[in-house]
Chains A and B, each alone.
Chain A
Amino acid sequence: MVIIINISDIYIFIPELYLTLTVFILLIYGIFYSTNKYYGYPILSKNFGYLVVITFTYILFLIINTPDFLSTYFPSFFFFNNSLKWIKTIFLLVGICYVFLVISNISLEKLNVFEFFLLFILSILSIFLIISTFDLLSIYISLEMLNLIFYVLATIRRTSEFSTEAGLKYFILGVFSTGLLLFGIALIYGCIGITNFIDLSLFFQSIMKEKSILEIPTDLLLGLVFISTAFFFKLSAAPFHMWSPDVYEGTLTSIITLFIIFTKITIFFLFINLFGTSLFELFNVWQKLTLICAFFSLFLGTFIAFAQTKFKRFLAYSSINHVGFIMIAVSSINYNGFYSLIFYMMIYILINLGIFASLLSLRNFRNYKFNHQIRYISEFTILSKTHPIIAFSILIILFSISGIPPIAGFFTKLIVFLTCLKSSLYSLVIFAITISCLATFYYIRIIKIIYFDNCNVWLIYVPMDKSKAFVLSFSVLLLTFFCLNPNLIINSIYIISTIN
């Protein structure tokens, strides 16, 4: 096959090209300076962090100034439209916030490798490719690019046994899910010889006019099941969630932030992109799969989280619970599912930025050389006495996750439930509300530990730095005062999801 690249393709592709070029230039810069005896082998991690912020700001302007149009490029492997422009903008803004969160932890966690930020830029590049993918083959390539970066990031602390174990677990199970994805794609291609999204959509529209769902070849349905299973693996939706608590426990907190915020949101966009458009005619099949996973995610995410004592494992199960709620929104996509999904994810990003800003700043201070991240939930006991404002911020964030009104988290769950009711999924709504009430218990348990438990050990925390304080205050205030004027966010999400 001869691939013809037009000049207009490159014009749309400029942000991605710029990111690639930046990685090359920064790599050369990093290698030259960090190995230079004349400059005293400088540690460039912080310097790279600020360079990443400058790069992202420049790309932000590039994306915002891209004209509004709908197009496919690189012979229909990728697409571009107005919604994508805004979604990329959100990813870049979150990326900038992420750099501000981790920039001071790099030296605290002794992660003095400049390659960390290069891998982060590459992960943003692959996220851009994933969300604009328009072909089954480009899904595989861009998703693998992201996964390879994350395998490296999971094991970036090479001297730590926990990190190596986590990375290896992530790699083996990730490769297994990629195998499933590739097998699913191969089955679909083997059956109908199509990989492009528009061609798939047209094919299923024509076939569903003539045949019922029972008459569709089994290989095709099996391919669909394999692809969706691979996505559920990547999302760590139950019952395919077993890797995530172990991997999160062994990985550095600053890298878990990347996994929880970026991976899940990207895969959900991809899921919507593939299943909501080209495989929409097979809605009855994939809706059932999504509902089964949503049920298990809600159930296991809630009940296993009760037993957790370590904060990272607790966060892993909490995120599985959230995946359940997002999947409910996905399964009612025929009405306003996409709208409620984007809304849920926006607030999910804000909540997670707040959680990780507070978690990354809470380091148990013993002396200047040795301080470590808090690991256990019970280590929060002293927080309300020593850091009342951080304790209050965590309280607001936990209220928001558990969906207590009038904080933003309540509205996200409300919109998901309303969407579900419109799709007549009444029993699921009753189940989800019950689970939501039960899940509130384990979030409130942390608040109880912070405010009411007696402290046996006095911990001294490292003071919070400016960038984390800014991100935390921004997210907490936005979550709290969201209810005063929710129209702007709700309207813009409506525009992104419905009109564009």
Chain B
Amino acid sequence: MVSAWSGALFGLAVQLMSNALQKLPLMRRPWEHVLFAAGGAFVGHKLGDLEVELTQRIEAHRANQKRPGS
């Protein structure tokens, strides 16, 4: 849940900064903010799952390396 929220915030921040760089009002085209936040939440959620999976793989790999004779 935390990763999804972080992703949503990141997506929103990208869109806000993008508008600021173009010298547009920050909330210009609000549907894009929603789109970016939703996209960011989806990617963040997926990356959160991926992080857990990667950590498990690395721990398994390290445990395998420590095993004598492996």
Q: Quick one: which of B19, B21, B55, B57 has the most chain A CB within 10 A?
A: B21
State how many angstroms separate the Cβ of B48 from the closest Cβ of chain A: 8
Known: A473-B17, A477-B14, A481-B10. A463 touches B22 (CB 8 A): yes
- Shortest Cβ distance from residue A479 to the other chain B in the assembled complex, whole angstroms: 12
CA distance A362 to B38 in the complex (A): 31
1/0 per residue A485-500: CB within 8 Å of B? 1011001101100110
Q: Are B10 and A477 in contact (CB-based, < 8 A)?
A: yes
Q: Which residues of A contact B14 (CB under 8 A)?
A: 470, 473-474, 477
Q: Does B51 contact A488, Cβ atoms closer than 8 Å?
A: yes
**Is the CB–CB distance between A488 and B21 below 8 Å?**
no
Given contacts A389-B17, A474-B14, contact A495 B22 (CB under 8 A): no
Which residues does chain B contribute within 8 Å of A466, judged by CB atoms? 18, 22
B residues 13-69 with Cβ under 8 Å of A? 13-15, 17-23, 47, 50-51, 54-55, 57-58, 61
Number of interface residues of A (CB under 8 A): 27
- Given A387, A473, A498, which contacts B18 in the complex, CB threshold below 8 Å? A473
Q: Which of B17, B23, B50 contacts A463 (CB 8 A)?
A: B23
Q: How many residues of B contact A (CB 8 A)?
A: 20
List, in ascending order, chain B residues with CB within 8 A of A387's CB.
Answer: 23
- Asked whether any CB of chain B lies closer than 8 Å to the CB of A315, the reply is no
A469 adjacent to B22 (CB under 8 Å): yes
A476 contact set on B, CB distance < 8 A: 17
A63 to chain B, nearest CB (A): 17
Q: Which of B17, B50, B51 has the most CB of A within 10 A?
A: B17
| Chain A residue with Cβ nearest B23 | A463
A495 contacts B17, C-beta separation under 8 Å? no
Q: Is the beta-carbon distance between B55 and A491 smaller than 8 angstroms? A: yes
Give Cα distance in the complex from A474 to B13, angstroms: 9
B58 touches A473 (CB 8 A): no
Binding site for A on B (CB under 8 A): 6, 10, 13-15, 17-23, 47, 50-51, 54-55, 57-58, 61
